[in-house]
Amino acid sequence: MYSYTMLVNKKNKLKKELDIDLVMVSKRYSLKDIYLERKCRNAFNLMASKAYGRGYYLIANSGYRSFKEQELEIKESIENEGEEYTDKYVAKVGVSEHHTGLAIDIKSGDTSPFIISREYLWLKKNAFKYGFVLRYPEGKEDITGYNFEPWHYRYVGKKVAKFITKNNMVLEEYIEKMEV
Q: What is the CATH number of the domain that holds 37?
A: 3.30.1380.10
As for how many domains the chain has, the answer is: 1
Q: Select from 147, 140, 148 the least CA-distant residue to 168.
A: 140
pLDDT recorded at residue 56: 96
Domain that holds residue 134: 22-179
pLDDT recorded at residue 35: 98
Tell whether 57 is covered by a domain: yes
Contact 97/8 with Cβ under 8 angstroms? yes
Q: What angle do CA 76, 65, 41 make, to 5 degrees?
A: 135
Tell whether 10 is covered by a domain: no
pLDDT recorded at residue 180: 55
Tell whether 63 is covered by a domain: yes
pLDDT 10s digit of each residue in the chain, 180 long? 899 999 999 999 999 999 999 999 999 999 899 999 999 999 999 999 999 999 999 999 999 999 999 999 999 999 999 999 998 788 999 999 999 999 999 999 887 789 999 999 999 999 999 999 999 999 999 999 988 999 999 999 999 999 999 999 999 999 999 875
Annotated catalytic, 149?
Answer: yes
Cα–Cα distance, 133 to 152 (Å, whole number):
9
pLDDT recorded at residue 73: 93
Tell whether 6 is covered by a domain: no
Q: 37, 97, 119, 149: which one is catalytic? A: 149
End-to-end CA gap in the chain = 19
Contact 60/104 with Cβ under 8 angstroms? yes
